[in-house]
Chains A and B, each alone.
Chain A
Amino acid sequence: MYWNARMECMPPEELRNLQYRELKSLVYKLYSFNNFYRDRMDEHGVHPDDIQSLEDIRRLPFMYKQDLRDNYPCKMFTSPREEVVRYHVSSGTTGKPTLVGYTESDIEFWTDSLARALTSIGIGRGDVVQVSYGYGLFTGGLGLHYGAERVGATVLPASVGNTERQLELMMDLDVTAIACTPSYMIHMGEVAKRLGIDFRRDTKLRKAILGAEPWSEGMRRHIQEDLGIEAYDIYGTSEISGPMFTECEERNGIHIWGDVAIVEIIDPETEEPLPPGQEGELVITVIKKEAMPMVRYRIRDLTYMEDEVCPCGRSSVRMGRISGRSDDMLIIRGINVFPSQVEHTLMNIPEVGEQFMIILDRKGALDTMTVQAELRPEHFSDKMADMMAIKKRIDSDMRKYLNISVNVELMDPGSLPRFEGKAKRVVDRREF
């Protein structure tokens, strides 16, 4: 079953023509109405008239996350403020957030993209979908909420936390599908086991849409075998709207709707395009975005594309698993964290030095982040209350600027490794 059979099954050649036409009009529009991108194109020596084929997309300049930060809050918007119907915000380096704005039409195509995705998983009218992504500034909760409502499902906006209650509601309301992070799914499974709840016997839950953090085929097997749930991968980031694309029932790659986005895979060093099947950095152009167009956005995820038609009949390219990042961004419990944010936060705390280490672990299903910092001798106190206050201050500052709670370990001065050249301040002991 398709949500939009014409778009989803369009012959590849026709789809490429459509992409070319859409790209050309997008670039003209940007050149005329978006100062940021016009300047960028001028610096790059490229004019909209230079776009004569889909391949000419390579002549356009890249966009980076830094551009969003530099132009915070609204300098990159192409639409007037009153046309913007929603904001989403994600935390950023140096505590400066990244803001994304949406027009009514932006919300519409985002919702439609997810409606196609949910339909391709077999979720629709009659299903009860528990959305256990965070609601609020994060795009996960509201994104899935709109998508699931669009396909006619009943939505349970559970958001995150209070797992026992979530399980109770899941049973009481005959929830059939859930959207959450893979680690939360595993955590739910563990809590259920402790409470004597058997997903197969006691719930109607059969499908899980999992994403917002890196996961693996091993975790998929674990979830599917342990909990008796089919697990589907979902992809998206706030810059491209939010979670947007998923696998279909075949579960062999994430369908990227060609009329929504143009994807390229490049060598992150040479920036040259790579052929299908070869891993490189994902570059994404969201064709339909109005308020904040993203053209050749360096999303920094490493993956590969498959371009043969999927057995499900959909002709879009399919994206493989994200194998890593081409920058130092960490994804912890679905939250993006840059080591530079940790550094910046510590710099404002006089009781500790500027050296630090980040240690990532997975305790049970949940990621934990430990920050080690060196205590300055003059701030040492024999009183525990004073020492706890230092830890608490670091913890609350981290929570404030990174949106994440961390374990703080105070270390002796000089005990943390010093680096010459590129620092390796992250020890990732998580196994995906």
Chain B
Amino acid sequence: MPQRHVIKQISVFVNNEPGRLAKIARMLSEEGIDIRAFNIAEASGFGVLRAIVRDPDRAFERLKERGVIVKETDVIAIPMQDRPGGLFEAAAVLGEEGINIEYGYAYSGQEGAIFFIRVDDTEAAISALLDRGLELMKEGDL
């Protein structure tokens, strides 16, 4: 059942307008959306906010209603607390399987560090990682 290991990330388009990111952050707080981890990728002229939130489906609907460009993206969460080198191992497995990591970012919470990765084939990545005995977080774990 690889699906249970799929984590939903919300991805938000942030244009270059001054204060745009603050506006989106305010919307999230007004909607009571709790951000667990986030990452911002930026280029000249725009950025993409990627966030792991407590209830991604509700966050997606709320932001969409408010005219924000948002989409849900599947990512994989790799816990790093009891396995030093876990990230390296995961990357090596994916490399062997020919699965590309599009991007990744870390989160350090009370439960320890978690690394989120976005790959080009999520299901294949989950199967490969579980087959090699790596531990992955499940949707309810976060």
Residues of A near any B CB (own CB < 8 A): 375, 377, 380-385, 387-388, 391, 407-415
Q: Could you give, for residues 36-71 of chain B, a 1 whenever the CB lies within 8 Å of some chain A CB and a 0 otherwise?
A: 000001011110101000000000000000011111
- Cα distance A388–B68 in the bound complex, in angstroms: 19
Residues of A within 8 A of B46 (CB): 387, 391, 409-410
How many residue pairs link A and B with beta carbons under 8 A? The number is 60
A391 (CB) vs chain B CBs: closest residue: B45
CA of A409 to CA of B14 in the docked complex: distance in angstroms? Answer: 11
Q: Are A415 and B71 in contact (CB under 8 A)?
A: no
Q: Please measure, in the bound complex, the distance between the C-alpha atom of A410 and the C-alpha atom of B73, giving whole angstroms.
A: 21
Q: Which of chain A's residues have a CB closer than 8 A to the CB of B11?
A: 380-382
For chain B, give the interface size range: 20 to 34
Bound-state CA distance A385–B103 (Å) is 11
Chain B residues within 8 Å of A382, by CB: 9, 11, 48, 50, 71, 73, 118
Q: Check if B3 is an interface residue, CB within 8 A of chain A.
A: no
> Are A412 and B50 touching (Cβ within 8 A)?
no
Interface majority SS (helix, strand, loop, mixed), chain A? mixed
Flag if B69 contacts A388 (CB, 8 Å).
Answer: no
Beta-carbon nearest neighbor of B118 in chain A? A382
Partner of B71, one of A380, A385, A409: A380
A412 touches B45 (CB 8 A): no
Q: Which residues on A sit within 8 Å (CB–CB) of B41?
A: 384
Assembled-state Cα–Cα distance A388/B46 (Å) = 10
Query: How far, in Å, is A410 (CB) from chain B's closest CB?
Result: 5
User: Is there an interface contact between A409 and B50, defined as CB atoms closer than 8 Å?
Assistant: no
Chain B's closest residue to A390 (CB) is B46
- B69 lies within 8 A of A413 (CB): yes
CB distance from A357 to the nearest CB of B (A): 12
Q: Is the CB of A409 within 8 A of B48?
A: no
Q: A382-B48, A387-B48 are in contact. Are A409 and B102 (CB under 8 A)?
A: no
Could you list some 7 contacts between A and B, CB below 8 A? A380-B70, A381-B11, A382-B11, A382-B73, A409-B16, A410-B13, A413-B69
Residues of B within 8 A of A385 (CB): 102
The CA of A382 and the CA of B120, in the complex, are separated in Å by 12
Give complex CA distance A171, B102 in Å.
51
Asked if B17 is at the interface (CB within 8 A of a chain A CB), the reply is: yes
Given A380-B13, A409-B15, A411-B15, A387:B43 Cβ within 8 A: yes
Residue-wise, chain B 69-109 has the 8 Å CB interface mask toward A (1 for contact) of 11101000000000000000000000000000011000000
The smallest C-beta distance from B88 to any residue of chain A, in angstroms, reads 23
Per the 8 Å Cβ criterion, residues 1-34 of B in contact with A are: 9, 11, 13, 15-17
**Complex: chain B residue closest to A377, CB-CB:** B69
Can you name 20 extra interface pairs (CB under 8 A) apart from A391-B45, A412-B69?
A375-B13, A377-B69, A381-B48, A381-B71, A382-B9, A382-B48, A382-B71, A382-B118, A383-B102, A383-B118, A384-B103, A388-B43, A391-B46, A408-B45, A409-B16, A409-B46, A410-B16, A411-B15, A412-B68, A415-B15
- Give, as a whole number of angstroms, the nearest-CB distance from B114 to chain A: 18
Contacts of B44 in A (CB 8 A): 407
Which of B15, B48, B71 is A412 in contact with, Cβ under 8 Å?
B15
Report Cα–Cα, A409/B43, bound state, in Å.
Answer: 10
Taking CB atoms, residues of chain B closer than 8 Å to A384 are: 41, 43, 48, 103
Q: Given A391, A413, A414, which contacts B43 in the complex, CB threshold below 8 Å?
A: A391
- Known A380-B11, A382-B11, A388-B43; judge A413-B48 contact (CB<8 A): no
Q: Are B71 and A414 in contact (CB under 8 A)?
A: no
* Chain A nearest Cβ from B17, distance in angstroms: 7
Name the A residues within 8 Å of B71 (CB-CB). 377, 380-382
Bound: A383/B9 CA distance, A: 13
Residue of B nearest to A414 (CB): B67
**B67 / chain A contacts, CB cutoff of 8 Å:** 412-414
Among candidates A375, A380, A411, residue contacting B17 with C-beta atoms closer than 8 Å: A411
* Max chain A Cβ within 10 angstroms of own Cβ: one of B46, B73, B103: B46
For the complex formed, measure the closest distance between the CB of A369 and the CB atoms of chain B, giving whole angstroms. Answer: 13
- Measured between alpha carbons, how far is A410 from B15 in the docked complex, in Å? 6
| Distance in angstroms between the alpha carbons of A411 and B45 in the assembled complex | 9
* Closest chain B CB from A379 CB (angstroms): 9
How many Å lie between the Cα of A409 and that of B73 in the bound state? 24
| A412 neighbours in B (Cβ, 8 Å) | 13, 15, 67-69
Chain A residues whose CB sits within 8 angstroms of the CB of B118 once the complex forms: 382-383
- Residues in B with CB closer than 8 Å to A409 are 15-16, 45-46
Q: Is the CB of A383 within 8 A of B13?
A: no
User: In the complex, A384→B11 CA distance in Å?
Assistant: 11
Are B103 and A383 touching (Cβ within 8 A)?
yes
Determine the residue in chain A with the shortest Cβ distance to B49: A382
**Closest-CB distance, A171 to chain B (whole angstroms):** 35
A407 interface neighbour in B9, B45, B68, B102, Cβ under 8 Å = B45
Query: Quick one: closest A residue to B48, CB to CB?
Result: A382
Q: Nearest Cβ distance between residue B14 and chain A, in whole angstroms?
A: 9
Distance between B21 CB and nearest chain A CB, rounded to angstroms: 12
Of chain A, the residue at the smallest CB distance from B15 is A411
Kindly list chain B residues whose C-beta atoms are within 8 Å of the C-beta of A387.
43, 46, 48
CB distance from B112 to the nearest CB of A (A): 25
CA distance A100 to B11 in the complex (A): 51
